[in-house]
A = this chain, B = another copy of it.
């Protein structure tokens, strides 16, 4: 097994999370160079994390001889430029979410890494949370039958740097920042081979003095008939609400990644005031997460990336996935404007998925709509008449 040397591009919150993961526990991989536009921030970051080199030159960071992997943790509007540099340098590239500001930009990025032949992984951490991995495995094993509906919700009081709030630099608002997570979580549950056909979205700027949307809800219709639903907000109060719900013909899954995970603290706010990070308050009932980089998927994500790199296989989340996500978000923005369903425009590689099958059993030739056991042990059938389609009750002796 190898140990990888990483050039970390970016020293913001996400660069910090990535490095905390790579330098965490007994992990074998390390950040060996860090880049920031600001020398002060680059130096502080390298001091904090014990990184040997820091630089304000992208070329120097990417071109560093010891580095085999470039991790892109920069604002959205810089992704294409930086990935182009890294691809030309022949380095493996791991890029934070979203891949780009639009499907078109994402497609150019995808084409670039594919023509360069470098390893490229899409750092969609929330598809790697241990709960999600276990739940997806369970769905694949058939535990909930056919998936009919997935709700993915990510809301909090808003991001931590100016560029996120700038429609041009980010490519949008809450949809681009948070919806990208939700879309890929939804795809993980309905199946990545299940084509997202069209999108209907509402978006509005309700609270903040910005041009980008601070709230949005969208529906995504998949080829199988399944519906994905994402809810994003930069105006949520109470912490960070990260929840997913999956409905299937044979079961249900509920995931809560942050506010109700089995760690509950009430404090009057005494002591030095520290309870945990990412909380909106420092007193009252607080709901921190135990191990953020573990529970939010960062650990499993980097494991998959480096393991895939070493085995020559594709990671669970690829740049193609990032491109599909951008295409779905494009459709959401178009729909918010046009006020109608908009098709997802994407070069589809995923094959075809059949419609969710209705498997009505028959009784005397009539389709059984529902079957219930009555208190007295008899069975009540609700039947759709084979000739007229009229629905009628029939009580049988069971």
Using a CB-CB cutoff of 8 Å, which residues 203-228 of chain A contact chain B? 204, 206-211, 215, 217, 219, 221, 225, 227
Please state if B210 and A384 are interface contacts (CB–CB under 8 Å). yes
List the one stretch of A101-109, A110-118, A177-185, A242-250 in contact with chain B. A242-250
Minimal Cβ-Cβ distance residue in B for A382: B162
**Roughly how many angstroms separate A268 CA and B275 CA in the complex, as a whole number?**
19
Chain A interface size range: 35 or more
Please state if B272 and A142 are interface contacts (CB–CB under 8 Å). yes
A380 CB to nearest B CB, Å: 8
A91 within 8 A of B: no
A78 within 8 A of B: no
Please state if B303 and A25 are interface contacts (CB–CB under 8 Å). yes
Using a CB-CB cutoff of 8 Å, which residues 261-276 of chain A contact chain B? 261-276
**Roughly how many angstroms separate A27 CA and B263 CA in the complex, as a whole number?**
27
A291 within 8 A of B: yes
Minimal Cβ-Cβ distance residue in B for A254: B264
Please state if B391 and A299 are interface contacts (CB–CB under 8 Å). no
A interface, CB within 8 angstroms of B: 3, 25-29, 129-131, 133-135, 137-138, 141-145, 148-149, 151, 155, 157-163, 165-166, 200, 202, 204, 206-211, 215, 217, 219, 221, 225, 227, 229, 231, 233, 235-239, 241, 247-257, 260-276, 280-281, 283-288, 290-291, 294-295, 299-300, 302-303, 306-307, 339-341, 356, 358, 360, 367-370, 372, 380, 382-384, 389-393
Please state if B25 and A162 are interface contacts (CB–CB under 8 Å). no
A307 CB to nearest B CB, Å: 8
Number of copies: 4
Counting chain B CB atoms within 10 Å of each CB, the highest count among A367, A380, A384 belongs to A384
A29 CB to nearest B CB, Å: 6
Residues from chain B with Cβ under 8 Å of A269 in the complex: 143
Given A247-B155, A270-B250, residue A217 in contact with residue B227 (CB < 8 A): yes
Please state if B283 and A284 are interface contacts (CB–CB under 8 Å). yes
Please state if B238 and A266 are interface contacts (CB–CB under 8 Å). yes
Given A202-B200, A274-B141, A290-B133, residue A285 in contact with residue B382 (CB < 8 A): no
Residues from chain B with Cβ under 8 Å of A138 in the complex: 265, 267, 274-276
